[in-house]
Structure 1
Amino acid sequence: MNQQQLLEKLASRPHPVVVEFWAPWCAPCRVMAPALEQTALEFAGRVELLRINADNHPELLRDLRIFGIPTLLVMVHGKEIYRRTGALSGSDLQVVFASALAGEKPAPTLRPVDRSLRGGAGIALLVLAFTLPSQPLFLALAGGALLFSAVYDRCPVYRAVSAWIRERKT
């Protein structure tokens, strides 16, 4: 199967398709497989799952510029709307399938460790900005921006404004 054949096959599908590129020797693929199959069952009839063995189709991986496995592609009417390399948790797979059903790219999510690191660094910069004798404004702004980046996805004002901007684009 080459890229053109895959795209033609996916374009003819009435539902969104999540394509997984995997290999039998890939440990992250094996870890993710049960959650992926469970999620595919939950979305059966609304979102399709197509699993492609990377070892059997190296030319397809090259054509699609897939450099690591597992890789998930979300295809809607033959067009790629999302790509993710690496194993995903069951909850992340739920988000991917729900986004595929909506025809949208999944919203990025922060891991707790990333959220903590951003928040801690932002607070440290704010403390530093207000304890230095000259009170540099740029440190306070950087600290505030870093702190906001730790919680922006939970901010209702940010959600409302970003939704309004997305609506204006279409």
Structure 2
Amino acid sequence: MGGNVLELNETNFEEEVLRAREPVLVDFWATWCMPCRMMAPVVEDIARSFSGRIKVGKVNTDEAPSLALQYGVHAIPTLIFFQDGREVERVVGYVPRRVLEEKLKRILGEA
């Protein structure tokens, strides 16, 4: 994982995501998922581009299945945008970088 992307799990999810002061983009993924692997460089690029304004993390659904269940993740990749501890947007499947950028700019009030 890139230096700007947090590895999230049941232990740190509440602190890193639900209590975060900034918006958080969480990528639910798995190593065997080809669309997830295609999405990974996009997510890492977003983390670099929005560094200091948002937090970006990844949840491996094979290692943290309870988080996937808790957030109703039925297909991967699923990217969930959190703000003030609650879900504000969701994207399922591979999407172009600009889709994530547009959503983040709206969340940040930059759109």
Query: TM over 0.5, yes or no?
Result: yes
Shift in Å, 1:8: 4.9
Amino acid at match of 2:73: I
- In 1, Cα distance between equivalents of 2:69 and 2:107: 24
**Match of residue 20 from structure 2:** 13
- In 1, Cα distance between equivalents of 2:94 and 2:20: 25
Structure 2 residue ranges without an equivalent (≥5): 1-9
> More strand per residue: 1 or 2?
2
Q: Which runs of 4+ in 1 moved over 6 A?
A: none
Shift in Å, 1:100: 2.9
TM-score (norm 2): 0.81
> More helix per residue: 1 or 2?
1
CA contact under 8 A between 1:74 and 1:82: conserved in structure 2? Answer: yes
**Match of residue 77 from structure 2:** 70
- In 1, Cα distance between equivalents of 2:16 and 2:58: 13
**Match of residue 101 from structure 2:** 94
**Match of residue 62 from structure 2:** 55
The structure with higher relative contact order (CA 8 Å, sep 6+) is 2
TM-score (norm 1): 0.55
Root-mean-square deviation over aligned CA pairs: 2.1
Does structure 1 residue 44 correspond to structure 2 residue 59? Answer: no
Map 1:22-37 → 2, pairs under 5 A: 22-37=29-44
- Give identity over the alignment, percent: 33
- In 1, Cα distance between equivalents of 2:77 and 2:45: 17
Name the count of aligned residue pairs.
Answer: 102
Map 1:131-146 → 2, pairs under 5 A: none
